[in-house]
Chains A and B, each alone.
Chain A
Amino acid sequence: MQKLFTLKYLNNKFVAYLIAAAFLIIAMLFGISIGTVSVPVIDIIKIIGAEIFRIAPNENIDPMYSNIVLNIRLPRVILAGLVGASLAIAGAAFQGLLRNPLADPYTLGVSSGASVGAVLTLFFSISIPVAGMFTLPLFSILFAFITIFLVLFFARQIDRSMKVETIILTGIIFSSFLGSLISLMIALTGEELRQIIGWLLGSVSMRGWAYIKIIFPFFIIGSLLLLINSRELNAMSFGEERAQHIGVNVQKRKMTILIAGSILTGAAVAVSGTIGFVGLVIPHLTRLLWGPDHRHLLPLSILAGGGFLILADLVARTIISPTELPIGVITALIGAPVFGLILMNRRKERRG
């Protein structure tokens, strides 16, 4: 009986991972296949098999397909996947930590901080000689870091025990302040305006493999840090005092989680601009489907978040083709109503 139950439980989780992984792979195939030039799925598999895994020699494949897949669509899809995964796992972690399904990298002001870094770089045309084209992402990550530490510093000044409410409030104040700063810079810009606005709304187009190299190490570091803290996240979603009662070193773990979250958010904003609501919608859906246990919620959010952003990008570039919509428009169109729904459900639960 006991064994049967454990088996069923494992199977349930196994099925969950299978579904999420299948969703990601299908999204990737769609993302690579669909576009102004349609590439058959068989060819995609052949090209990837030949060029990346060096399995079979690349014989009877159209070199144009090969070029489109390898140089345009595959990096775009991978970048979208990495950005979506980063934002989703960061959102899931922040929600667990703040015990608030409405929390998201943006609530803490981390995204705004990263944006300010990027806009500053564009505004002043800063270029660090060694970093070259990586100046923009590096500044974004740096500003995300600075912002989260400022938010935490101010929160600590307000309330020594750093209550989650204080952190959220401080984050919102910072978001608002930094948003105004960006608006000010946009107003002062001349011809750079279009570039900045386009970047602000978020996009993963024309970034190439270089950007994947930028985000990938941060994605790995941030995700690992969060994954090894998944039990602590479970404990902290019962409240910080409760977590401490259970034996969690709350101050240290909270700091680790916040730092990991800002690494993921900062890197994602740097390569793709501000794409909202991914960190809100994906963890929420994942939790609805497979439960709130962070040991599974975090990895499942990675898979689902990646797949989701790939599909959102696909819609963004095909829906009014040949014009491309900013990807942030699509995620916001989906995310804002979901945000409203969660809010209403929460109010209902509290009343009931």
Chain B
Amino acid sequence: MLSVQQLTGGYSVDSVLKNVSFELEQGELFGILGPNGSGKTTLLKMLSGILPFSEGTILLKGIPIKEYTAKELAKVVAVLPQHTSQSFSYTVKETVSLGRYAHQKGWFQTWSADDERIVRQVMEQTGVAHFEDHPIHELSGGERQRVFLAQALAQEPEILLLDEPTNHLDLSFQKELLDLLKEWTKVKGLTVISIFHDLNLAGLYCDRLLLLENGEININHTPNEVLREERIRKVYRTKIQKQPHPKVPAPQMVLLPEELSEEKGSFTIDESLLEVSKEYIALKCPIPLRTMSSGVVGSGTGWHQFFVNRHVDKDYDCSDHRREMVNYLKSYHFEPGETVGMMTAVYPEDVSHQLYQADDFSAFIVVTAGVGNAIDAARSEEHTFNKTPGTINTWVFVNGELTEEAFIQSIMTATEAKVKAMHDLEVMDAVTGTVATGTSTDSILIAATQKGQRQDYAGTITPLGKLIGKGVYECTMMAIQKSRKRKKK
């Protein structure tokens, strides 16, 4: 469809683009990325025939672009520019109709039924038909952008070039436009080349990305290859972090703002933040913590400031326990969106907690344990589902920065330590008669301040792993013993 070979050139003597080569297949959605001044717009202008280039060739359907007349080119390539100027107030339909220019013949260019049909069709597709008689300068930015998209589509192009198409659009229009483009590439075989500023949108929609750096190609590959943290950091010279999209296998980049030097004086999460009442155990943190948890509320990964382990009665039964928990939190003035909430039948005063100190970081462990429902995970299939209360809720607060790996390894280490405690206290699975490994409703929370010493790993023999292993083991032992004592009473 399109083949660019050793393209070199620019506005003046200095070449903006140097030796750019790439190929494009029909039906591709191809994104061009790059920091400001990297030559994105220059490349697009050369592809649209506006800007001459000094060296190299652009082959359009096998024919050099320089051999196309303006009209022939307009039947193959249409452009949706970033800015459009309108000095006179044409109506929407007049504007869209201009897109048919290249298809009309003769000196006085008569308007055919075909022209009318296509104009009507593209106005419907872009959703501008219902204001076809409005002057364009009365439209909003998003509407105007759609009018010019309709104009470009009225050319019936095979290739559509877009320069930051979502620039002036609000969120819903951005999605609408890109969904539409994606659909056209799939259904109609339209080839789309678009400049993107938003790496995430590009990663989400494009089949392939071209990353320009100082007028040269840095990489031309799939979004997952192009949007690598290291590469983007280097090319854009900014702090950025990659994370997966929750629904689609597309990479997403997030900016990391520079941390302000004046931090709220360094603090440590310890028992001074802990509040134990008859109703619940709560930890109120002055700043949001990065969390990974399996609570009733605030589970998964996120940022949370409040942590509540609520005491419920042994017979607690609720069809929608999640909503009930949210209402409960609200009634105690914990903002549910910022809270990780768990439940336990264990009495709050039986909590066991301890701050474990390492050289330059620390971990505060909080455990409540009830083992009435202890189960040997290895033989859990022998259990039928029954709801006897008894839960081990483990909280691990780390005063330090954790990587994603460290979060996951923390969970593993904490779990291993818990199992060991069960083993050493010979907590038995009532059904199988073997040593239990936990209970059926155990929950865990790993929370980190993300400040201070960075911990890359939390395996059992790493500094953090050692702390968590020891801490969770000791606290779980203590908590189980406390709840056993209460039972004996």
Chain A interface residues toward B at CB < 8 A: 96, 99-101, 228, 231, 234-235, 237-239, 241-242, 244-250, 287, 291-293, 349
Chain B interface residues toward A at CB < 8 A: 45, 48-50, 69-75, 77-79, 81, 84-91, 94-95, 98-99, 101-102, 104, 107-109, 137, 151-152, 155
> Which of A239, A250, A292 is close to B70, meaning CB atoms less than 8 Å apart?
A250
User: Residue on A with the closest CB to B154?
Assistant: A246
A234 CB contacts on chain B under 8 angstroms: 90, 94, 98
A100 CB contacts on chain B under 8 angstroms: 87
Known: A100-B87, A237-B87, A238-B98. A247 touches B81 (CB 8 A): no
Contact assessment for B102 and A246 in the assembled complex, using a CB-CB cutoff below 8 Å: yes
Contact assessment for B89 and A249 in the assembled complex, using a CB-CB cutoff below 8 Å: no
Contact assessment for B87 and A247 in the assembled complex, using a CB-CB cutoff below 8 Å: no
User: Residue on A with the closest CB to B161?
Assistant: A245
User: Residue on B with the closest CB to A98?
Assistant: B87
A249 CB contacts on chain B under 8 angstroms: 69-71
B87 CB contacts on chain A under 8 angstroms: 99-101, 237
Contact assessment for A292 and B84 in the assembled complex, using a CB-CB cutoff below 8 Å: no
B73 CB contacts on chain A under 8 angstroms: 247
Contact assessment for A246 and B98 in the assembled complex, using a CB-CB cutoff below 8 Å: yes
User: Residue on B with the closest CB to A293?
Assistant: B94
Contact assessment for A235 and B50 in the assembled complex, using a CB-CB cutoff below 8 Å: no
Contact assessment for B109 and A247 in the assembled complex, using a CB-CB cutoff below 8 Å: no
With both chains docked as a complex, state the minimum distance between the C-beta of B143 and any C-beta of chain A, in angstroms.
16
Contact assessment for B101 and A231 in the assembled complex, using a CB-CB cutoff below 8 Å: yes
CA distance in complex: A293, B135 (Å):
12
CA distance in complex: A66, B78 (Å):
62
Contact assessment for B98 and A291 in the assembled complex, using a CB-CB cutoff below 8 Å: no
Q: Is the interface of B mostly helix, strand, loop or mixed?
A: mixed
B88 CB contacts on chain A under 8 angstroms: 96, 99, 101, 237, 287, 292
CA distance in complex: A241, B155 (Å):
15
Known: A292-B89, A293-B94. A245 touches B71 (CB 8 A): no
User: Residue on B with the closest CB to A250?
Assistant: B70
With both chains docked as a complex, state the minimum distance between the C-beta of A245 and any C-beta of chain B, in angstroms.
4
CA distance in complex: A231, B108 (Å):
9
Known: A238-B98, A244-B49, A247-B102. A291 touches B74 (CB 8 A): no
With both chains docked as a complex, state the minimum distance between the C-beta of A71 and any C-beta of chain B, in angstroms.
39
CA distance in complex: A96, B72 (Å):
24
Known: A228-B108, A231-B101, A231-B109. A245 touches B81 (CB 8 A): yes
> Which of A231, A246, A250 is close to B151, meaning CB atoms less than 8 Å apart?
A246
With both chains docked as a complex, state the minimum distance between the C-beta of A64 and any C-beta of chain B, in angstroms.
46
New contact pairs (20) apart from A237-B86, A245-B152, CB-CB < 8 Å: A100-B87, A228-B108, A234-B90, A234-B94, A238-B98, A242-B81, A244-B48, A244-B70, A245-B74, A245-B81, A247-B71, A247-B73, A247-B74, A247-B75, A247-B102, A247-B155, A248-B101, A249-B70, A291-B90, A291-B91
Contact assessment for A245 and B94 in the assembled complex, using a CB-CB cutoff below 8 Å: no
With both chains docked as a complex, state the minimum distance between the C-beta of B263 and any C-beta of chain A, in angstroms.
44
B81 CB contacts on chain A under 8 angstroms: 241-242, 245
With both chains docked as a complex, state the minimum distance between the C-beta of B40 and any C-beta of chain A, in angstroms.
16
CA distance in complex: A231, B85 (Å):
17
A291 CB contacts on chain B under 8 angstroms: 89-91, 94
Across the A-B interface, the 4 shortest Cβ-Cβ residue pairs: A247-B74, A247-B102, A292-B88, A99-B87
CA distance in complex: A242, B86 (Å):
11
B75 CB contacts on chain A under 8 angstroms: 247
Known: A239-B84, A247-B155, A249-B70. A293 touches B99 (CB 8 A): no
A244 CB contacts on chain B under 8 angstroms: 48-50, 70
With both chains docked as a complex, state the minimum distance between the C-beta of A16 and any C-beta of chain B, in angstroms.
15
A248 CB contacts on chain B under 8 angstroms: 70, 101
With both chains docked as a complex, state the minimum distance between the C-beta of A309 and any C-beta of chain B, in angstroms.
24
> Which of B45, B70, B90, B108 is close to A293, meaning CB atoms less than 8 Å apart?
B90
CA distance in complex: A287, B102 (Å):
25
With both chains docked as a complex, state the minimum distance between the C-beta of B210 and any C-beta of chain A, in angstroms.
21
Subset of 6 A-B contacts with CB under 8 Å: A99-B85, A100-B87, A231-B98, A239-B85, A246-B98, A247-B70
Contact assessment for A241 and B89 in the assembled complex, using a CB-CB cutoff below 8 Å: no
With both chains docked as a complex, state the minimum distance between the C-beta of B390 and any C-beta of chain A, in angstroms.
70
B48 CB contacts on chain A under 8 angstroms: 244-245
A292 CB contacts on chain B under 8 angstroms: 88-90
With both chains docked as a complex, state the minimum distance between the C-beta of A297 and any C-beta of chain B, in angstroms.
9
With both chains docked as a complex, state the minimum distance between the C-beta of B475 and any C-beta of chain A, in angstroms.
67
B84 CB contacts on chain A under 8 angstroms: 238-239, 242
Known: A100-B87, A228-B107, A293-B90. A241 touches B101 (CB 8 A): no
A239 CB contacts on chain B under 8 angstroms: 84-85
Contact assessment for A246 and B85 in the assembled complex, using a CB-CB cutoff below 8 Å: no
With both chains docked as a complex, state the minimum distance between the C-beta of B113 and any C-beta of chain A, in angstroms.
11
CA distance in complex: A246, B368 (Å):
72
> Which of B69, B74, B94 is close to A246, meaning CB atoms less than 8 Å apart?
B74
With both chains docked as a complex, state the minimum distance between the C-beta of B53 and any C-beta of chain A, in angstroms.
14
User: Residue on A with the closest CB to B79?
Assistant: A245
CA distance in complex: A244, B152 (Å):
12
B151 CB contacts on chain A under 8 angstroms: 246
CA distance in complex: A121, B109 (Å):
43
B78 CB contacts on chain A under 8 angstroms: 245
B104 CB contacts on chain A under 8 angstroms: 231
A245 CB contacts on chain B under 8 angstroms: 48, 50, 74, 77-79, 81, 152
With both chains docked as a complex, state the minimum distance between the C-beta of B352 and any C-beta of chain A, in angstroms.
68
With both chains docked as a complex, state the minimum distance between the C-beta of A122 and any C-beta of chain B, in angstroms.
39
User: Residue on A with the closest CB to B132?
Assistant: A5
Contact assessment for B50 and A247 in the assembled complex, using a CB-CB cutoff below 8 Å: no
Q: Which of A244, A245, A292 has the most CB of B within 10 A?
A: A245
With both chains docked as a complex, state the minimum distance between the C-beta of A225 and any C-beta of chain B, in angstroms.
11
CA distance in complex: A234, B151 (Å):
13
With both chains docked as a complex, state the minimum distance between the C-beta of B92 and any C-beta of chain A, in angstroms.
13
CA distance in complex: A239, B82 (Å):
13
Contact assessment for B155 and A246 in the assembled complex, using a CB-CB cutoff below 8 Å: yes
B77 CB contacts on chain A under 8 angstroms: 245
User: Residue on A with the closest CB to B90?
Assistant: A292
With both chains docked as a complex, state the minimum distance between the C-beta of A224 and any C-beta of chain B, in angstroms.
10
A99 CB contacts on chain B under 8 angstroms: 85, 87-88
